[in-house]
Homo-oligomer: A and B are copies of this chain.
Amino acid sequence: MSAAVVNPVPVGILVLRGERVESRHRVSYAVTGAAGALRHAEGESDRPVFPRSAVKPLQALVLLETGAAERFRVSQAELALACASHGGEARHVDLVRRWLARLGLDQTALECGSHPPSHAPSAERLLAAGKRPEPAHNNCSGKHAAMLTVSRQIGAPLAGYIAADHPVQRLVAVTLAEMAGVAALPEPATDGCGIPTYPLTLAQLATAMARLADPHALSPARRAACLEICRAMTAHPKLVAGAGRACTAIMTAAPDVVVKTGAEGVYAAAVPKLGLGLALKIEDGAGRAAPVALVALLEALGALPREARAALGETVRPVLRNHARKAVGRIEPAPGWPRL
């Protein structure tokens, strides 16, 4: 633990109140190419982190590679939703319900648990109608629908599909390890939606994203799957997250990058035109700092056109307002960060 105390993870993001720094977020990141060579890094790029939902685009590869997507006529929109941490808007929930219905299932088959939609108006409408959140509202319900689809395809039991030793999760883990260039994954912990989350270093996660961005050296089936995942996410940015969300805003403004957030301050990105992958972790897990850091890194890499940056506005450079809506502060990168 004493190592943690002195480890110099740099301050990357500042929270200002007035013109004075109120809080600070430390950021580690790694940028790699598809062969795994580290191009840029600061902080603890070699320390395992839980990538959480940032690996959803990688977990979704099995939907394509097993033939499940083809057999069960999974649409491009559904593929995007399989990669999503969605806001629980009607467009997300309805798509999940219809997908499950096509499998002859309903949302009782989902083992992800329930939580209110993160999209506040949707959550308020639900409460105002006297309803409770259901599994389809869970931000991971698209991924879970995908895992049920794969279970059906490979003839595995549907019940218990979230367990680490279930054939679907084993398949997902093998795929993740291959993409990240890891011989054996460490023991997983349990993610918010019940499935295993495997520790990866930021360099490994960046490598997996770089291969998603630049799959030319991968097997033909995987190469095709990577390209299809990237196409689906960039074609349907509103399905990957939703209204007011950073992933959606970034992929709308810059349709040639693929970005995916994860809980506890993780962000991953694939930049096909540069053949690069990127992974970052806010040391303290703050979701408010992660998109600000991601966009600063994409800008520094030359992956974000100036117009895209301008179009993003407050989504990724938040102005803090108090309860009377007065602007009282802002969140922004620390001067000189990142040191690319």
Residue A4 contacts which of B197, B286, B334 (CB distance < 8 angstroms)?
A: B334
A166 at the B interface (CB under 8 A): no
Asked if residues A324 and B23 are in contact (CB atoms below 8 Å), the reply is no
Asked if residues B193 and A323 are in contact (CB atoms below 8 Å), the reply is yes
Near B by CB (< 8 A), chain A positions 305-340 give: 322-326, 328-329, 334-337
Asked if residues B113 and A323 are in contact (CB atoms below 8 Å), the reply is yes
Asked if residues B189 and A328 are in contact (CB atoms below 8 Å), the reply is yes
A160 at the B interface (CB under 8 A): no
A1 at the B interface (CB under 8 A): yes
Nearest Cβ distance between residue A291 and chain B, in whole angstroms?
A: 16
Digitize A167-202: 1 where CB-to-B-CB distance is under 8 Å, 0 elsewhere.
000000000000000000001111111100101000
Q: How large is the interface on A (under 10, 10 to 19, 20 to 34, 35 or more residues)?
A: 35 or more
Residue A111 contacts which of B23, B114, B324, B335 (CB distance < 8 angstroms)?
A: B324
Residue A324 contacts which of B25, B49, B194, B326 (CB distance < 8 angstroms)?
A: B194
Q: Closest B-chain residue to A1, C-beta based?
A: B335
Nearest Cβ distance between residue A117 and chain B, in whole angstroms?
A: 12
CA distance A48 to B194 in the complex (A): 42
Q: Closest B-chain residue to A191, C-beta based?
A: B322
Q: Closest B-chain residue to A129, C-beta based?
A: B128
Digitize A1-40: 1 where CB-to-B-CB distance is under 8 Å, 0 elsewhere.
1101110101100010110111111100000000000000
Q: A114-B323, A138-B323, A189-B18 are in contact. Are A8 and B6 (CB under 8 A)?
A: yes
Q: A23-B285, A128-B130, A328-B190 are in contact. Are A115 and B323 (CB under 8 A)?
A: yes
Q: Which residues of B contact A322 (CB under 8 A)?
A: 113, 190-194
Residue A1 contacts which of B11, B22, B264 (CB distance < 8 angstroms)?
A: B11
Task: Give the number of copies in the complex.
Answer: 2
Asked if residues B11 and A5 are in contact (CB atoms below 8 Å), the reply is yes
Interface centre among A17, A112, A114, A124 (most CB of B within 10 A): A17
Nearest Cβ distance between residue A243 and chain B, in whole angstroms?
A: 19
Asked if residues B15 and A329 are in contact (CB atoms below 8 Å), the reply is no
Q: A11-B5, A111-B324 are in contact. Are A20 and B283 (CB under 8 A)?
A: no
A94 at the B interface (CB under 8 A): no
A70 at the B interface (CB under 8 A): no
Asked if residues B190 and A23 are in contact (CB atoms below 8 Å), the reply is no
Q: A5-B11, A8-B5, A264-B15 are in contact. Are A285 and B22 (CB under 8 A)?
A: yes
Q: Which residues of B contact A112 (CB under 8 A)?
A: 323-324
Task: List 5 tightest A-B contacts by C-beta distance, closest first.
Answer: A113-B323, A18-B189, A23-B285, A113-B324, A284-B284
